[in-house]
Amino acid sequence: MKRYSGWQQEAADLFFADLMGEPLPPPRVWTRSASTPPLMSAWPRAGWPFAGVVPPSRAVVEQNDLGEAIPLNGRGRFRHEPLGGEAGDNVEARWNVDAATASGSTVDIVVHLHGYGTPGSDFLARKAALAGLDMLDAAGAVRVRASSVPTLALVPRGRHVEGVRWLFDRLPDPAAFDALIAAAIAWLCTTVLRLPSGSTLVRGRLTLMAHSGGGAGLSALLAKGLDPDEVVCFDSMYGEDTPIRRWAEARIASPRAARSGLRVFYTGCSAPLPDYPAGRWIERPGGDPTYQQPGSWSWSEGDRKWRLTTTEVNARRLQHALDGALSRVTGGGAALAGRFRVERTSVGHNDIPARYSAPLLDDIAVTVPKATAPPPATTRPACVANDDWLTRSPRKPGGDDPKPPRPGRAAEAAVVDVEDVYAPPGGRAYSPSSSAAVFRTAPAPVAVTPASEWPEPTTDADGASQRALRALGVGAAGIAGFAGPGLAALRPIAAAFGEAALVELLRRLRYTPAQLAAPPHSFANDAALTRAFGRAVPRPVILALRTLLAIPGHFRELARQAGNEPEAFALENLGWLLLQSLRDDVRSASGLNFWMPSSPTFVTPFANPVPGMSSQAARLIVARMLIDTTLDNADYLARYGAWRGRAARHWRLETGRETSTMRPAGVPFYTEPFTIPASINIAAQRTQVQAAWARRLADVDAGRTTVPLTQCDNSYLTSLRLMSRVSLRGLQLRAQFPSPATAPSLASLTGLGAVQPAFEAAFQAVVDLGWNDLLFETQGMGCFRGKKVPGSPAAARRMSEHSMGIAIDLNAFENAQNTAGAMDPRIVALFEAFRFRWGRGFPTPDPMHFEYAG
């Protein structure tokens, strides 16, 4: 058996902010009224002279008077000397054992190994409250394991070593563990049940639980051969999985499998910010700079190495091993899969045991809320850069450059101002999913571009633009091309956002450095673009127009970090207001009267006074004059109400406030707020259109038509009457980007009548979510033609799916064939959810193309 030491101990020691700042214990899960005082406050902790004997209390007397069945309301504590530590009780106990229990009865045992935390006289009481093991409600009725074998739960105190570290080295092996349980049973018999001398209880089923840093103690006990019936890990797998895996594999293969169980919960890890792979120092006004870690990675100054602090990697490796063990069970192990499983939870780290302990004690196979199956092993955790993470050491995304030195006074100018980073009250860290498994055809990069920077106005707008372009890989010649009109057009955006936020805006375009230097447009050539606007449009100027459309997306991602729904709405709203405000500035600066989609219907100026929101948002609203002094707060709330439909539900699903039944938190699109039209069979229509295509080929071959096969000729379809108008449901699309403001907008498209519901439902979803910034140009749908593969006459003879009126080309100007394209992952995920196939997966990649797949 492998010894528990070295790396496991080290990993278990790596605990940071979430454990350092331990919150107050959450309210007791079963409390219905405050009429019953907590027993621990019924007598002073100090001053009771008889260690190991529960002092009398008013609560006890009242219970006895009322003939309550469970002595002492199921709560007490005693000292078990081998555990050591400071004087006083060192084991908290909870039970649902009836006062009438006779000697020789069986009692099930639960042992909960607590996590790290700040020492103090009430340390163990706090840990017991977090453990969620109270089995009685406030009225004294048994709420946990009421109908099964009586249960005694123990929360032994670890040994405090230093800081917030606690070890279970006084509970090192099965012998020490058994001694603890024997002492607890003896104490229950004599002190609580007051059974006659010589009485005892038979030890039944054993459940071993660990929270957080207690996982190290749990692994040590399993490694030394302890063989519990059930094991529960509450975000505790910081160390390696070997002892737990071996125990689980042995149990699964044993005849006792159906009476055993392993439940493991982990919280998702996070990746470094792309711009700060080694973390960064953030200045605080009037205080020392604080270091922002690169996601779940922390720097060890001792050996100058990065260490990963997460439960995700080991928990998911364990799930992989469980899958293997279950598949080897005769019959496939499906019946056991509920008993032996690993899940990701969206419950906060410190709240997990209180949320899950009680239901798991009733049924180890129970389905608990806010927990979902992990993604497949082919999807690597967000905090890991290597695809072989299942078997090899995790590698840090963004490289292994060391933590930057703490800035001194001289270097203060280089320090990021705290106001640059969005940090709302109650805000939460958010990393978009990097899982390719949620797509049929995954975009690259997979994740929605994250945002962390708050706009920070600068007076050096041109310098900020040039530095931002350089940061994204644009060379000196490319940057020189921005001199004059290019920088002038970008100036309003750069002045309002500053360099750091501008980098994030530009990154959102998903452009290559060459595309940033010479942004694409929809026209055949630059001369055609000039004709459309009636004046020259230098290529670099287009970047400013395109960057405006990145602003709502930037604020949408910032909103994922908001502390509450009103703030999230305010941010999404703010993104669109800023786009419109800066659009006018860019029009003036560029001299171009260009089109931008108007804001979603939920967007509104802010009412005066600005409703309660973060000071950062409030200051930006005031600075940009985005307040309508005539607007009543009720009007603002009405727009908020409009957002609170589908857009807010999506926000809750994305941020894990609401658990999706289908997907983990953080993915780009959720189907729950929408109705996906059932699959539509178009075989009959296909036969008809193909017959028309055969006629056209024959006409071309016989010289009866001169229209090239790659051009539309819808005359062949007219008589079939299969096509109909497809409404855009309010989605604003133009046939070109950039487009003069005076050019016509598309009102509808033409497509196969049968699939009209699928298209319209998808468009409606884009509109309801306010995602028009991600989708604003189309080259159309219905077009009776052959496939366009440059230089391939053979391809032109094969009918394009556009001929069927079931395909649409979107944002074509920046998603050319044979390129990776720039399609936003949200759009890809949305259309895939509505049963469309993305052309990027075709043999000739076609990232502008989506076609109905049924």
The binding site for Zn ion (CB under 5 A) comprises 809, 849
Give the closest residue to 511 by CA, choosing from 476, 547, 537. 547
Q: Which is nearer to Zn ion, 209 or 823 (CB)?
A: 823
Nearest distance in Å: CB 713, Zn ion = 17
3-state secondary structure of 76: strand
Q: Which is nearer to Zn ion, 222 or 807 (CB)?
A: 807
Q: Which is nearer to Zn ion, 333 or 839 (CB)?
A: 839
Gyration radius from the chain CA atoms: 32
Residues 130/212, Cβ–Cβ less than 8 Å:
no
Q: Rounded to an integer, what distance in angstroms lies between the CA atom of residue 631 and that of residue 154? A: 59
Q: Rounded to an integer, what distance in angstroms lies between the CA atom of residue 316 and that of residue 341? A: 10
Q: Which is nearer to Zn ion, 562 or 758 (CB)?
A: 758
For the chain, how far is it from start to end, CA to CA, in angstroms? 53
Nearest distance in Å: CB 852, Zn ion = 12
Nearest distance in Å: CB 704, Zn ion = 27
* Ramachandran assignment for 732, one of left (phi > 0), alpha (psi -120 to 50 degrees), beta (any other): beta
Nearest distance in Å: CB 351, Zn ion = 49
Q: Which is nearer to Zn ion, 594 or 693 (CB)?
A: 693
Residues whose CB is less than 8 angstroms from the CB of residue 556 and which lie 6 or more positions away in sequence, other chains included = 571, 572, 575, 770
Q: Which is nearer to Zn ion, 211 or 849 (CB)?
A: 849
Q: Which is nearer to Zn ion, 156 or 847 (CB)?
A: 847
Nearest distance in Å: CB 757, Zn ion = 21
Q: Which is nearer to Zn ion, 602 or 813 (CB)?
A: 813
**Beta strands of 578-691 (E only): which ranges?**
606-607, 627-628
C-alpha distances (whole Å) from 818 to each of 446, 743, 793, 803, 849 are 18, 30, 17, 21, 12
Q: Which is nearer to Zn ion, 230 or 809 (CB)?
A: 809
Nearest distance in Å: CB 460, Zn ion = 43
Q: Rounded to an integer, what distance in angstroms lies between the CA atom of residue 760 and that of residue 763? A: 5
**Beta strands of 261-339 (E only): which ranges?**
261-266, 280-283, 290-292, 297-300, 305-308
Nearest distance in Å: CB 841, Zn ion = 13
Compute the half-sphere exposure of residue 202: CA atoms within 13 Å on the CB side of its CA.
7
3-state secondary structure of 466: helix
Q: Which is nearer to Zn ion, 350 or 817 (CB)?
A: 817
Q: Which is nearer to Zn ion, 199 or 710 (CB)?
A: 710
Nearest distance in Å: CB 267, Zn ion = 41
Nearest distance in Å: CB 788, Zn ion = 8
Q: Which is nearer to Zn ion, 312 or 846 (CB)?
A: 846
Give the closest residue to 154 by CA, choosing from 172, 179, 181. 181
At position 707, the amino acid (one-letter code) is V
Structure tokens that stand for 738 in this block: 């950039």
Give the closest residue to 689 by CA, choosing from 792, 806, 808. 806
Give the closest residue to 381 by CA, choosing from 523, 237, 482, 500. 237
Q: Which is nearer to Zn ion, 583 or 849 (CB)?
A: 849
Nearest distance in Å: CB 131, Zn ion = 58
Nearest distance in Å: CB 457, Zn ion = 42
Nearest distance in Å: CB 763, Zn ion = 17
Nearest distance in Å: CB 790, Zn ion = 14
Q: Which is nearer to Zn ion, 567 or 777 (CB)?
A: 777
- Cα dihedral 567→573→576→579 (10° resolution): -50
Q: Which is nearer to Zn ion, 263 or 849 (CB)?
A: 849
Nearest distance in Å: CB 580, Zn ion = 31
Q: Which is nearer to Zn ion, 663 or 849 (CB)?
A: 849
Q: Which is nearer to Zn ion, 270 or 811 (CB)?
A: 811
Nearest distance in Å: CB 809, Zn ion = 4
Q: Rounded to an integer, what distance in angstroms lies between the CA atom of residue 296 and that of residue 280? A: 14
For residues 425-438, one letter each, b for 16 or more C-beta atoms within 10 angstroms of the residue's C-beta and e for the rest, the string is: eebeebbbbbbbbb
Residues 482/469, Cβ–Cβ less than 8 Å:
yes
Is the CA virtual torsion 691, 692, 696, 702 positive or negative?
positive
- CA 444, distance to chain mean position in Å, is 18
Nearest distance in Å: CB 800, Zn ion = 7
Q: Which is nearer to Zn ion, 213 or 805 (CB)?
A: 805
Q: Select the residue whose beta carbon is closest to Zn ion and give its number.
A: 849
Nearest distance in Å: CB 259, Zn ion = 57
Give the closest residue to 594 by CA, choosing from 506, 526, 527, 533. 533
- CA 477, distance to chain mean position in Å, is 40
What phi, psi does 465 have (nearest 5°)?
Answer: -60, -45
Neighbours of 178 (CB within 10 A): 13
Give the closest residue to 218 by CA, choosing from 267, 280, 264. 264
C-alpha distances (whole Å) from 177 to each of 110, 111, 256, 310, 436 are 12, 9, 22, 28, 44
**Which ranges in 454-538 belong to alpha helices (H)?**
461-471, 476-480, 485-508, 513-517, 526-533
Nearest distance in Å: CB 794, Zn ion = 18
Q: Rounded to an integer, what distance in angstroms lies between the CA atom of residue 420 and that of residue 438? A: 32
Q: Which residue has the tokens 């104490």?
A: 187
